[in-house]
Amino acid sequence: MRYLLVSVLVAMLVTAVAALGQPPGMGRPGEIGLPLQPRARAVADSNDFAFRLYQHLRGEQGNIIVSPYSITTALGMAYAGAAGETKRQMAKAIGFYGPDGQVHAALADLQRVLVARGQAAPGRGGQPFQFHVANALWAQQGQSLLRAYLRTIDMYYAGGLQQLDFRANPEGARGAINQWVSKQTAGKIADLLPRGVLNGNTRLVLTNAIYFNAAWQNQFQKSNTAPGPFTLLSGEVVKTDMMHHTFTTRYAQGKGYQLVELPYAGMGFAMEVLLPDQGTFPQFEQSLTAARWQSLLSSMHRGQVELAMPKWRFDTQLSLAQTLAAMGMKDAFDATRADFSAMDGKRDLFVQAVIHKAMVRVDEEGTEAAAATGVAMGVTSVAPGHVITINVDRPFLFLIREQQTGAILFMGRVEDPR
């Protein structure tokens, strides 16, 4: 009988992350310390995956938020157990190149760098800055897993192994996993796995949770927030709370777009808001690739920006099995062709479902979301006193990135900020 491997991805907002304590590192710092080149390659490949994934998801209706970093991390745990054609397809679809040890070490090293960034900085809501990652493996009681696989997960993903009885009590197992997720998210995600996702044939569940809490370097004054018009894609004009601030930052203007950077306190992370011209959002969104994104970043200048931007808070839940299969990793979801023999020494596992849930909150103080990553680019000064006006009063794209590495941890679009 073919058994089921369920990969669960969590990228969530939390409003009280201080209770989570200090975020654990991925792997052991003493064992990880890659040269810059492998890390830079891993970031470039991860960012390319982020934009390719987004192009497959942009057909979804409404607002979208997704954490490519969370997805890459969870799939990395599955990739560690793949073999043969399944492994080759996953490597190509996700962007895992090079020797296995280097792939996993690069992911671990990247997280080590990210966790170390901004630790002395404030978070929103009076909380300290937080970048928190948790991984776990949930296996059927008595399920045999290869020592080499468990060692890889422990060393590079810090993923602890828990045993449950999916066979006799799948709903009880679902409750235990959801309870773990709830604890990791300070109670903000109470029911990640919906009823029916797990069944008596489930043998392994991989979970990943990522949290980000940061305050703006230049906070908006709440007294300046007021209702303002926002034009939806349909042309309907609605009222929403618009924040206002004038500050010095990096921005770009070009044919068909405006781009503005909102750095977080601590100089480690930033959000980019990308605003296509009125009536051009679908075409601009379709044209966005990793290469174009880099070109947009390289065109940014430093100067005075008068910014009007809506507050927003929303969540997204996605089932990614069809999306990932369409991106090239078909065999992983095929019960007759999947090869995860590097997990248990047999070909009896396949991926049943990949579930991604994300939530973001943006207000005058800062951002609470799933992850963040970015790259600092060279800038050109502008003439003193020249103020650029950017009015985010129509659908826009946003990315949260860490500025030293350039890694994109979070991206999405806001069609309706209400």
Q: What is the pLDDT of residues 137-149, one digit of tens each?
A: 889 898 889 999 9
Can you give the pLDDT at residue 133? 78
Any domain includes 331 = yes
pLDDT over 90 (residue 89): yes
β-strand partners of 398: 273, 412
pLDDT over 70 (residue 256): yes
Q: Do 87 and 104 form a contact (C-beta atoms < 8 A)?
A: no
Name the burial class of residue 176, with classes exposed (0-12), middle (13-18) and buried (19+) by CB atoms within 10 angstroms of its CB.
middle
pLDDT over 70 (residue 9): no
pLDDT over 90 (residue 111): no
Give the residue with greater pLDDT, 190 vs 233.
233
301 and 341 belong to one structural domain: no
d(CA 48, CA 34): 21
Q: Strand 269-276 and strand 301-310: pairing?
A: unpaired
Can you give the pLDDT at residue 299? 93
Helices (H), 96-165: 100-116, 147-152
231 and 278 belong to one structural domain: yes
297 and 162 belong to one structural domain: no
Which one of 360, 380, 398 terminates a domain? 360
For the chain, what is the mean pLDDT?
82
- At residue 114 the predicted structure's pLDDT band, cuts being 50, 70 and 90, is confident
46 and 108 belong to one structural domain: yes
β-strand partners of 64: 413
CATH of the domain at 275: 2.30.39.10
Any domain includes 51 = yes
Average pLDDT over residues 21-25: 36
Which domain range does residue 405 map to? 218-310+371-414
Can you give the pLDDT at residue 373? 18
7-16, 116-125, 130-139, range with greatest mean pLDDT: 130-139
Signed CA dihedral, 199, 86, 321, 80: sign only? positive
161 and 304 belong to one structural domain: no
Any domain includes 187 = yes
Give the residue with greater pLDDT, 379 vs 324.
324
Signed CA dihedral, 287, 290, 291, 292: sign only? positive
Average pLDDT over residues 18-25: 34
Q: For the chain, give the percent of residues with pLDDT over 90.
A: 47
d(CA 248, CA 147): 53
Q: Which amino acid is at 237?
A: V
d(CA 270, CA 276): 19
Can you give the pLDDT at residue 377? 13
Nearest to 2 by CA among 324, 322, 339: 339
For the stretch 299-340, pLDDT in tens is 999 999 999 999 999 888 888 999 999 999 999 999 889 999
Residue 247's contacts (CB-CB under 8 Å, 6 or more residues apart) are 218, 304, 305, 307
* Eight-state DSSP code of residue 129: P
Can you give the pLDDT at residue 38? 75
pLDDT over 80 (residue 369): no
Q: Residue 345, Cα to own-chain centre: how many angstroms?
A: 31
Can you give the pLDDT at residue 123? 66
Can you give the pLDDT at residue 20? 35
d(CA 7, CA 109): 23
- At residue 135 the predicted structure's pLDDT band, cuts being 50, 70 and 90, is confident
d(CA 409, CA 406): 9
Any domain includes 366 = no
272 and 407 belong to one structural domain: yes
Helices (H), 268-392: 281-287, 290-298, 321-326, 341-344
Any domain includes 115 = yes
Residue 59's contacts (CB-CB under 8 Å, 6 or more residues apart) are none
CATH of the domain at 135: 3.30.497.10
Residue environment code for 19-47, b if the CB has 16+ CB neighbours within 10 A, otherwise e = ebeebebbbeeeebebeeebbbbbbebbb
Average pLDDT over residues 80-90: 95
235 and 164 belong to one structural domain: no
Number of domains in the chain: 2
342 and 394 belong to one structural domain: no
Q: Residue 169, Cα to own-chain centre: how many angstroms?
A: 32
Any domain includes 365 = no
β-strand partners of 304: 248, 387
Give the residue with greater pLDDT, 317 vs 368.
317
pLDDT over 50 (residue 30): no
Strands in 32-124 per DSSP E: 64-66
Any domain includes 399 = yes
225 and 161 belong to one structural domain: no
Can you give the pLDDT at residue 411? 93
For the stretch 234-244, pLDDT in tens is 999 999 999 99
Give the residue with greater pLDDT, 166 vs 13.
166
Any domain includes 406 = yes
Signed CA dihedral, 388, 391, 396, 398: sign only? positive
pLDDT over 90 (residue 85): yes
Q: Residue 374, Cα to own-chain centre: how many angstroms?
A: 12
Q: Do 304 and 260 form a contact (C-beta atoms < 8 A)?
A: no
128-132, 225-229, 346-350, 377-381, range with greatest mean pLDDT: 225-229
Q: Do 221 and 235 form a contact (C-beta atoms < 8 A)?
A: no
pLDDT over 80 (residue 418): yes
355 and 305 belong to one structural domain: no
Tokens of 171: 């709903």
234 and 355 belong to one structural domain: no
229 and 193 belong to one structural domain: no
